[in-house]
Amino acid sequence: MDLRQAAAADAATLAALGATSFVAKFGHLYRPADLQTFLAGAHTEEKVAREIADPTMRVMLAEEDGQLLGFCKLVMACGWPEHARGGNTIELKQLYTDPSATGRGIGAQLMDWAMAEAVRFGADEIQLSVYADNPGAQKFYARYGFAKAADIHFMVGEQRDAEFLFARMLAG
């Protein structure tokens, strides 16, 4: 498996994997209209292209034999400043894997990259949001030293989901 930075030409593939991964894990939780509204705003080729081009974001891909298996997005800015403890807090925006490739260590490789990239950037804290009823993801992030910092919410269409803000201070 290889990691590489996303390029503009990857936007459509990234958007498709983002939507597929989200629907596979969470699609059953939402009314079709709410799910479609969310996907139309969060996982489009245009939105992903803007993210790839954004100098305040880093988008890393995990590939094998030319097939996209996962990706990770870092925003080099604080997503929840009201909960920040660090002076240079960044946000792990998404860490998604292809549902058919789960359990192959893709998430771990992407997380290792994200942690190293945060240190290179000089961040002293990383924040991320995780669905309140996703203990598997919470356990994964806890292995990397993240802990719950606050109760927050996440909107999918008109549905408001309980989320946890997880954070981790970085040695500096």
pLDDT digit string, tens, across residues 65-85: 999 999 999 999 999 999 999
- Tell me which amino acid residue 107 is: G
Q: In angstroms, what CA-CA distances link 54 with 58, 62, 80, 106, 125?
A: 8, 20, 19, 24, 21
Q: Which helix (H) or strand (E) holds 163?
A: strand 159-169
Domain boundaries, the chain: 2-169
Q: Which helix (H) or strand (E) holds 128?
A: strand 125-131
**pLDDT computed for residue 172 by the predictor:** 56
Cα four-point dihedral sign 87, 88, 91, 97: negative
**pLDDT computed for residue 102 by the predictor:** 87
Distance between CA atoms of 166 and 172, rounded to whole angstroms?
Answer: 19
**pLDDT computed for residue 87 by the predictor:** 95
- 125-131 and 89-97 as β-strands: parallel, antiparallel, unpaired? parallel
Here the tokens at position 107 are 């998430």
Q: Which helix (H) or strand (E) holds 154?
A: strand 147-156
**pLDDT computed for residue 37 by the predictor:** 95
Q: pLDDT under 50 in the chain at which residues?
A: none
101-122 pLDDT per residue, tens: 988 999 999 999 999 999 999 9
Q: What is the second-level CATH architecture of the domain 2-169?
A: 3-Layer(aba) Sandwich (3.40)
